[in-house]
C-alpha cells in the first residue's frame, strides 16, 4: 500500500485584492463614518442599510458586462438566477426605492455606508473590497437638490479634517457635453444609437486630460495615439473642426463663473439639450453662492467627466489639491476622493417611469489615506488599562478590579497570558499602547494597597523627559485599594486622556 500523501497546508494569506483591517484601522474608519453621518444627518438625510447581495437582474445595465455576470462583480448562480455582491450603494438604492416607494416620503433622502465588492484587477492601493459612504435625494428634479449635495460635500470634507484650500468641488453637466457632441456632429437626438463608440472614446479622452495633456487628448480625438511603450490606442476619428469643438469645451473654464458660463453658451449654441445644461449649471452656481460657498470651494469646471455615461445632468467631483509623493518619489496631487451626479433613469428600470435622483459617493479609504498624509490622523490607538497577574490563584480579585474600572467607563482588561514572567506582562501592555498597568502582588494584597504604573510617562522618559517632569508626575504610585478607580481617573487626566 502506497504512502498516503499529506494534504498541503492552506496558505495564511487573504485572496488577492483583499486585506485585513486591525484595531487602529477600524477605529479610524468608524470615527470618520461617525463624523460624516453627523453632517448627513444635519442635512436631514436618514440612514439606510440595504442587502449586500442583489440579483443580477436588479443590478441590470450597470454591470460591467451583462453577458458575463461574473465579470466585474462577484456573482454566483442559484435556482432562481444569478446573485451578486453589490458593487456600489446606488444600484441597491434604486431597487429599494422602487420596492417601497409607496411607503417612503417623496423626495426620499437617504445615506448609506458600507463595503462594496468589485471583481476587477487589483493594484497598488486598489482593492476588491472597499468602503463607500453615499448620500442621495430621490424624487426631486430641483437643482436645489444638486446644490445641496455639493454644499454638504464641502461641509463633510471640512468636518473630517480637510482644510479649506486643500480641496475643490468641481461641477459639470452631462447635458452640456451632449450639446457639445451634437454641435460636433457625433450625437443625433433622433438616433441616439449612432456614434456611441465615438462618444465613448471622446469621454475617455476628456477624462485623461490631466495625464496626457491637451496634445495627447487631441490625438485620441483624431486617429489615435501611440504611448511610450509603443501601444496604440484607437481614436474617435473626428476631423480637425470637430476635435477643436471638443477641445474648446475642455478649455471653457474662465477666470470667473460668468466667463465660464458665457464660454459654454457660445459652444453649445443651437443645441437645446446643451443650453438646458448650461442653465442648470448656472442655477447650481447661484444656489451654492447664496449659501455662502464661493469658488474657493465649489467651482464650475467643464473638464470633469465622472463616468458621464451613467449620469443624465449635473456631475460633481471632490478633488484634494495638496501635493504628495507617489511610490516612486514623484510629486503629484492627491486627486479625487468623492464623486457623484444626477441619474434620472436609474429607478425607471423597475417602475417604467422616470424618477429624478441625485447623489454623492465618498471613497472613505482614500479620504483616510489623505488625512494620514496630511498628518491629521495620528497612527496610534489608546489601549486598555492592563491589570497584571502576580498570583495566578487570585484571578477573581483582578477581574473585580477590571469590573470596577469598566463600571466607571474606563477600558480595562486582566492579563490572561502566562503570568510567570512579569516583564512579559508589561511588554504586552506596551504592545497594546496601554496608558496604565495595575500591580497587586501578595504583599500589596495583605497591606490593602495597589501599585499604579504610568506607562505613558515611562515612554516619555525614555524619549528624554526632564527630571522636573519626573518629579512632577511620578511614574508609579502606591494607593489604597479602595482608591483604585479614583486614582486611575486622576492619572488618565494627568496624561491628557480624559476631559
Q: Which strand (E) or helix (H) includes residue 118?
A: none
Contacts of 368 by beta carbon, 8 Å cutoff, 6+ apart: 28, 29, 32, 377
- Cell numbers standing for residue 248: 474648446
- Angstrom distance (rounded) from CA 327 to CA 287: 41
Peptide bond into 107 cis (omega under 30): yes
Lowest mean pLDDT among 54-68, 232-246, 403-417, 430-444: 54-68
- Angstrom distance (rounded) from CA 495 to CA 383: 14
Q: In which residue are the cell numbers 501578595 written?
A: 442
**What's the alpha-carbon Rg for the chain, to the nearest Å?**
29
Q: Taking Cα atoms as reference points, which of 154, 131, 110 lies closest to residue 30? A: 131
User: Cα dihedral angle (51, 54, 60, 66), rounded to 10 degrees?
Assistant: 140
- Angstrom distance (rounded) from CA 341 to CA 149: 9
Q: Taking Cα atoms as reference points, which of 123, 111, 115, 134 lies closest to residue 26? A: 115
- Angstrom distance (rounded) from CA 295 to CA 113: 29
Query: Quick count: other Cβ atoms within 10 Å of Cβ 462?
Result: 8
pLDDT of residue 48: 97
- Angstrom distance (rounded) from CA 63 to CA 202: 21
Lowest mean pLDDT among 201-210, 294-303, 315-324, 334-343: 201-210
Average pLDDT of the residues in 106-134: 89
Q: Is the pLDDT confidence value at 151 over 80?
A: yes
**pLDDT tens across 163-205, in order?**
999 999 999 999 999 999 899 888 888 887 788 888 888 888 8
Task: Report the share of the chain in percent with pLDDT over 90.
Answer: 55
- What's the pLDDT band for 63 if we cut at 50, 70, 90? very low
Residues linked to residue 412 through DSSP beta bridges, in sequence order: 385
Residues linked to residue 453 through DSSP beta bridges, in sequence order: 437, 476
Residues linked to residue 338 through DSSP beta bridges, in sequence order: 318, 362
Burial status of residue 122 (CB atoms within 10 A of its CB: 0-12, 13-18, 19 or more): middle
The pair phi, psi for residue 140, each rounded to 5°, is -125, 125
pLDDT of residue 229: 81
- What's the pLDDT band for 464 if we cut at 50, 70, 90? low
- Angstrom distance (rounded) from CA 368 to CA 317: 17
Q: Average model confidence (pLDDT) for the chain?
A: 87
- Angstrom distance (rounded) from CA 44 to CA 207: 33
Q: Which strand (E) or helix (H) includes residue 68?
A: none
Residues linked to residue 325 through DSSP beta bridges, in sequence order: 331
- Angstrom distance (rounded) from CA 368 to CA 356: 32
Lowest mean pLDDT among 176-190, 271-285, 341-355, 450-464: 450-464
- Angstrom distance (rounded) from CA 191 to CA 468: 83
The pair phi, psi for residue 49, each rounded to 5°, is -115, 110
- Cell numbers standing for residue 103: 411607503
Average pLDDT of the residues in 146-161: 96
Residues 254/267, Cβ–Cβ less than 8 Å: no
Secondary structure of residue 329 in the 3-state scheme: coil
List domains and CATH numbers for the chain. 23-373 (3.30.930.10), 385-494 (3.40.50.800)
Query: Quick count: other Cβ atoms within 10 Å of Cβ 30?
Result: 10
The pair phi, psi for residue 228, each rounded to 5°, is -60, -25
- Cell numbers standing for residue 295: 469658488
- Cell numbers standing for residue 238: 473626428
Got the DSSP string for 242-302?
Answer: HHHHHHHHHT---SSHHHHHHHHHHHTTT-HHHHHHHHHHHHHHHHHHHTT--TTTEEE-T
Between these two residues, 334 and 11, which has the higher pLDDT value? 11
- Cell numbers standing for residue 368: 483616510
Amino acid at each position: 500500500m502506497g504512502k498516503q500523501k499529506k494534504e498541503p497546508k492552506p496558505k495564511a494569506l487573504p485572496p488577492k485584492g483583499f486585506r485585513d483591517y486591525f484595531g487602529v484601522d477600524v477605529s479610524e474608519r468608524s470615527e470618520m463614518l461617525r463624523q460624516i453621518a453627523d453632517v448627513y444627518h444635519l442635512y436631514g438625510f436618514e440612514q439606510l442599510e440595504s442587502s449586500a447581495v442583489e440579483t443580477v437582474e436588479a443590478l441590470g445595465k450597470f454591470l460591467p458586462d451583462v453577458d458575463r455576470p461574473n465579470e466585474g462583480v462577484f456573482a454566483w448562480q442559484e435556482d432562481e438566477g444569478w446573485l451578486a455582491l453589490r458593487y456600489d450603494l446606488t444600484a441597491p438604492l434604486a431597487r429599494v426605492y422602487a420596492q417601497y416607494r409607496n411607503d417612503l416620503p417623496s423626495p426620499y433622502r437617504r445615506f448609506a455606508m458600507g463595503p462594496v465588492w468589485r471583481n476587477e484587477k487589483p493594484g497598488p492601493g486598489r482593492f476588491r473590497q472597499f468602503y463607500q459612504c453615499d448620500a442621495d435625494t430621490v424624487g426631486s428634479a430641483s437643482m436645489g437638490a444638486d446644490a445641496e449635495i455639493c454644499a454638504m460635500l464641502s461641509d463633510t470634507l471640512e468636518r473630517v479634517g480637510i482644510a479649506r484650500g486643500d480641496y475643490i468641488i468641481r461641477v459639470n453637466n452631462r447635458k452640456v457635453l451632449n450639446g457639445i457632441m451634437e454641435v460636433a456632429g457625433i450625437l443625433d437626438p433622433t438616433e441616439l444609437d449612432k456614434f456611441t463608440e465615438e462618444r465613448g472614446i471622446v469621454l475617455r479622452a476628456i477624462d485623461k486630460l490631466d495625464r496626457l495633456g491637451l496634445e495627447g487628448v487631441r490625438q485620441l480625438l483624431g486617429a489615435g495615439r501611440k504611448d511610450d511603450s509603443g501601444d496604440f490606442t484607437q481614436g474617435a476619428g473626428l476631423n480637425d473642426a470637430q476635435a477643436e469643438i471638443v477641445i474648446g469645451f475642455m478649455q471653457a473654464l474662465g477666470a470667473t463663473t460668468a466667463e465660464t458660463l458665457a464660454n459654454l453658451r457660445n459652444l453649445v449654441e443651437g443645441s437645446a439639450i446643451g443650453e438646458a445644461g448650461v442653465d442648470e449649471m448656472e442655477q447650481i452656481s447661484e444656489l451654492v453662492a447664496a449659501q455662502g460657498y464661493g469658488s474657493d470651494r465649489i467651482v464650475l469646471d467643464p473638464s470633469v467627466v465622472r463616468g458621464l455615461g451613467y449620469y443624465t445632468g449635473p456631475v460633481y467631483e471632490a478633488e484634494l489639491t495638496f501635493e504628495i509623493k507617489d511610490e516612486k518619489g514623484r510629486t503629484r496631487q492627491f486627486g479625487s476622493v468623492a464623486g457623484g451626479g444626477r441619474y434620472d433613469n436609474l429607478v425607471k428600470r423597475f417602475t417604467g417611469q422616470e424618477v429624478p435622483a441625485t447623489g454623492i459617493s465618498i471613497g472613505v479609504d482614500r479620504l483616510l489615506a489623505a488625512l494620514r498624509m496630511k498628518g491629521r490622523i495620528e497612527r496610534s490607538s489608546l489601549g486598555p488599562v492592563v491589570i497584571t497577574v502576580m498570583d495566578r490563584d487570585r484571578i477573581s480579585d483582578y477581574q473585580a478590579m477590571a469590573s470596577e474600572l469598566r463600571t466607571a467607563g474606563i477600558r480595562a482588561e486582566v492579563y490572561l497570558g502566562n503570568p510567570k514572567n512579569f516583564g512579559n506582562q508589561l511588554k504586552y501592555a506596551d504592545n497594546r499602547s496601554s496608558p496604565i498597568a495595575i500591580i497587586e502582588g501578595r504583599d500589596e494584597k495583605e497591606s490593602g494597597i495597589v501599585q499604579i504604573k504610568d506607562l505613558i510617562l515611562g515612554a516619555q522618559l525614555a524619549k528624554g523627559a526632564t527630571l522636573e517632569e519626573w518629579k512632577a508626575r511620578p511614574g508609579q504610585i502606591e494607593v489604597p485599594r479602595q482608591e483604585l478607580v479614583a486614582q486611575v481617573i486622576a492619572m488618565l487626566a494627568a496624561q491628557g486622556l480624559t476631559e
